[in-house]
Amino acid sequence: MARVDVRPGRRVRDRRTVPLLAISLAVGLTAAAVPGWATAATIPARLATPATEPAGEPGEEPPTADPTDTGVPTEAPSTASPPPETTPPVATTEPAPTTTAPQEPAPTTTLPTASTPPPPPSAPPVRPSVPAPGSSSLPPVGVRVTTEDVTLTSAYWNAPSTVTTLRVTVTNTGAAHARIRLAYTLPAGLTDAGTKGCADAGGGDHRCGEWTSAPGARFSTLLRVRVSGDAWRQMPLSGSVRVTATAPGAAPASDNEGFAVLFPPGPPVPGIKLEAGEVAFDISGGASALDVRLGNTGRVDAAGRIEVVLPAGVTVPAPPADCTAVSPARTRCDLGTVPAGRTAHLRLPVSATPEAQRQAPLAGAALGRLDPRTGRARQVQMSFRITAAAALATPVASPPAPTGSQGVLAANAPALGDGGQTSSVRRTAIILITVSALLVVLALALATTSLRRRMGAPVIERSPAPAPTD
């Protein structure tokens, strides 16, 4: 019988197949991970590269202000401790997130030997204003301003004029040291009462010196204003405050916010009482409501009437019954007879344009009148506050993207200015991932084929050669 000679080469090849498959699989997995590393290391490194052209030559002094502009003070107003952060109005939609600035000392006041001229005070910037993304590779500049109101007490009615303060809080929301300059506009009947570091620019506008502020710094300043004794005749009265932040080589940022001048009910007259609530617009910008109460504290019945005066951009879209729109800004409502010792309640729907909401807080005025059958008519008026959540939704400057040494790609990294480089990196990553996947599939196919061959091959044993016969 013929012997079957099975060479050991096939078994040797089978034993070598498994290590080769393991090596191929490891290479494929490694290649699949390489594109992520390459992309994460390439893009942030390019993002973190500073501009090749500096803003100015080393050692060169920045440009100085126009020598003819003598209205800009060379000293910044004094600073004070800022008030605690307040909770924004309830909104139907989640507003833009706000960050709590770290506790830092008040910024140092410096003499602005060289500064960027402030924006024209006659045209306040639209809130919010943020530097355009990708405009500079340097840390972004950001600033936010909040104001309180000029609130007068009942002592106002006994003085020819009243001096009070307006608190303004400024926050450096950027990631760079910035020079912050402040300007404000006072309405008719209000004048500056000698705020140190600020100067009159005409037309109710005022300009102040600048502060040098660190990233995240938050501080307040108090503006002294004088309210004339007859300013109540021109209510409602509102003003505005504007801030501008600049840094070398970075795009400037600005913000503005209004403030209301709130008068108490008056001039005081016996037998009548007036109350007006606050109008608040949520983040949706939909219509709100104003509640006004007119009380007859006298001894005889009287016919009641309420007039509401609203600022520009705020209107009563659908006056209720017994109410008439005297003008776009004035609505008159007849309440009928108000018995002695009773209070009449009026609720008006109020709407505002997006521009008016961005300029909030604003002020409106309510006038109440009681006309009895006998005796003299009694009339008082007061201011009420108009707020909007849209005025608080100011986006802060984005923090710088992480560098390549961190080994990850920031999710909010800004897009590269060169779109060709971005698409090239993506194409390379896709190609590497595809090749890695093919290698893994090929390795699995080879492993499967090898196992099938080994399981289906016949078992052939070597028989010892027969002993030679004599």
Q: What is the 3-state secondary structure (H, E, C) of 254-311?
A: EEEEEEEEECCCECCCCCEEEEECCEEECCCCCCEEEEEEEEECCCCCEEEEEEEECC
pLDDT recorded at residue 92: 39
Mean pLDDT of 401-428: 47
**pLDDT tens profile 96-131:** 434 344 444 445 444 333 344 444 444 444 444 444
Burial code (b: 16+ CB inside 10 Å, e: under 16) for 186-222 equals bbebbbbeebebbbebeebbbbbbbbbbebbbbbbbb
pLDDT recorded at residue 121: 42
Confidence tier at 22 by pLDDT (50, 70, 90): low
Confidence tier at 35 by pLDDT (50, 70, 90): very low
Mean pLDDT of 340-349: 94
pLDDT recorded at residue 426: 73
The helix (H) or strand (E) run that includes residue 331 is: strand 330-338
**pLDDT tens profile 126-157:** 444 444 454 446 788 999 999 999 999 999 99
DSSP state of 157: G
Task: Kindly give, in sequence order, each residue whose CB lies less than 8 Å from that of residue 142, ignoring residues fewer than 6 positions away.
Answer: 130, 131, 172, 173, 174, 175, 245, 253, 396, 397
Query: pLDDT > 90: what percent of the chain?
Result: 45
State the helix-helix crossing angle for 419-456 and 9-48, rounded to 10 degrees: 160
**pLDDT tens profile 163-203:** 999 999 999 999 989 999 999 999 999 999 999 999 999 99
pLDDT recorded at residue 390: 75
- Does the pLDDT of residue 30 top 70, yes or no? no
pLDDT recorded at residue 437: 82
Query: pLDDT > 70: what percent of the chain?
Result: 62
- Does the pLDDT of residue 462 top 60, yes or no? no
Mean pLDDT of 31-49: 42
d(CA 265, CA 408): 61
User: What is the distance of C-alpha 134 from the center of its chain?
Assistant: 18
Least confident of 27-36, 66-75, 113-122, 352-361: 113-122
pLDDT recorded at residue 417: 42
Domain boundaries, the chain: 9-49+419-456, 108-270+278-284+353-363+385-406
Q: Say which CATH topology domain 108-270+278-284+353-363+385-406 has.
A: Immunoglobulin-like (2.60.40)
* Token duo for residue 161: 């004029």
List Cα–Cα distances, 65 to 61, 112, 118, 227, in angstroms: 12, 9, 10, 33
d(CA 425, CA 123): 45
- Does the pLDDT of residue 363 top 90, yes or no? yes
pLDDT recorded at residue 117: 44
Contact 14, 450 (CB under 8 A): yes
* Token duo for residue 450: 């090898």
**pLDDT tens profile 243-283:** 999 999 889 999 999 999 999 999 999 999 999 999 999 88
List Cα–Cα distances, 210 to 62, 83, 214, 215, 390, in angstroms: 16, 21, 13, 15, 27
* Token duo for residue 350: 């109020």
Mean pLDDT of 370-381: 92
Give the residue among 337, 231, 247 at the shortest CA–CA distance from 294: 337
Whether residue 361 is preceded by a cis peptide bond, meaning omega within 30 degrees of 0, is yes
- Does the pLDDT of residue 364 top 60, yes or no? yes
At residue 187, what is the residue type?
P
Confidence tier at 445 by pLDDT (50, 70, 90): confident
Confidence tier at 6 by pLDDT (50, 70, 90): very low
Mean pLDDT of 331-346: 94
Decide: helix, strand or coil at residue 6.
coil
Averaged confidence pLDDT in the chain: 74
What would the DSSP string read from start to end of 391-451?
Answer: GT--PPPPPPPPPGGG-S--TTPPPPS-HHHHHHHHHHHHHHHHHHHHHHHHHHHHHHHHH
* Token duo for residue 462: 């070597």
Longest dimension (CA), the chain: 159
List Cα–Cα distances, 384 to 188, 279, 280, in angstroms: 18, 8, 11
Confidence tier at 36 by pLDDT (50, 70, 90): very low
d(CA 385, CA 387): 7
DSSP state of 244: E
d(CA 256, CA 127): 6
- Does the pLDDT of residue 89 top 50, yes or no? no
Mean pLDDT of 73-102: 54
Backbone angles phi, psi at 382, to 5 degrees: -155, 170
- Does the pLDDT of residue 357 top 80, yes or no? yes
